[in-house]
Amino acid sequence: MRFLSQSVGLAVMAVCAAPPGLTAQASGQAVFEQKCAACHSAGSERLIGPGLEGVMDRRERAWVKRFIMQPDQLLDSNDPIAAELLQEYQIVMPNLAITDAEAEALMAFMEGGGRGAAAPRAAGAASEEQIVLGQNLFQGTTRFTNGGATCNSCHEVTNDAVIGGGVLAAELTTVFSRLGGPGVRAILGSPPFPVMQRAYADKPLTDEEVAALVGFLERADEEQALHQPRDYGIKLFGAGLLGAAILLGLYTVMWRGRKRGSVNQSIYDRQIKST
């Protein structure tokens, strides 16, 4: 009886937490598609993280709620299930600042079997033109349609065709092997990470750009053994020496007509002559 009362109470909370005009499951589906679908399927298919079909039967409800709302804190507490998931999937679930109401709605959605969630799109083979476009988009020689930041401002890929990238975020040479095509496509289409969400909030990538980037990253992964990380040290040192030589030359030309010798000496010489 106590268990039944608790379940009814939680269901009431979930319904009350839903926005006006939406059932708890519909509200949960909206949250799922906005914040979860980039990494998880509502079915059994594995993307970046596990498929969520049956998760409410496999895990305790309180644990699921905490993992939804505070995955980082759960992992820091050495929770054995969280540690096992990290070891299996090799990626930390980001804290998406999901509210209590959103968590309740998500769980109601998953308890209902995740019905209505869009299935992940399969990534077809990219053409050579798409791969070249993805390469150019990654390093910024071709700008994104909506003006989003270039990928290599934060990410690095070991590939002779692109210049070195940033170190703010993960190195992406083997991202295709780690996450698979659906996972890479899902992240690019609906970024789950807070920094990416802020960067592309009003500047989303188009479907064509996502397909091109996925194709380039797949090619970079396949050919990683043929490419070497670029060492810009010698080139930067040579460019510095050349720049210094050019500046010295310019200064020499500009100061060619400058007065030579001491001004005080000239004044002294004039005074001596006048005496």
Please enumerate in sequence order all residues whose Cβ is within 8 A of that of 70, keeping only pairs 6 or more positions apart, or say none: 95
Q: What is the pLDDT of residue 3?
A: 33
Whether the per-residue pLDDT at 258 is higher than 60: the answer is: yes
- Mean pLDDT score across all residues of the chain: 81
Please give the full DSSP string across 152-178, using - where no structure is assigned.
GGT-----TTS----SSS---TTHHHH
Instruction: Provide the pLDDT confidence category of residue 19 given band limits of 50, 70 and 90.
Output: very low
| Tens-place pLDDT, residues 29-49 | 989 988 888 788 888 888 888
Note the pLDDT tens digit of each residue in 179-223.
778 778 878 887 878 888 888 989 999 999 999 999 999 999 988
Q: Mean of the pLDDT values across residues 161-176?
A: 82
Confidence at residue 194, expressed as pLDDT on a 0 to 100 scale: 80
DSSP structural state of residue 29: H
pLDDT at 206: 94
CB–CB of 206/146 below 8 Å? yes
pLDDT at 145: 95
pLDDT tens profile 50-87: 999 999 999 999 999 999 999 989 989 999 999 999 89
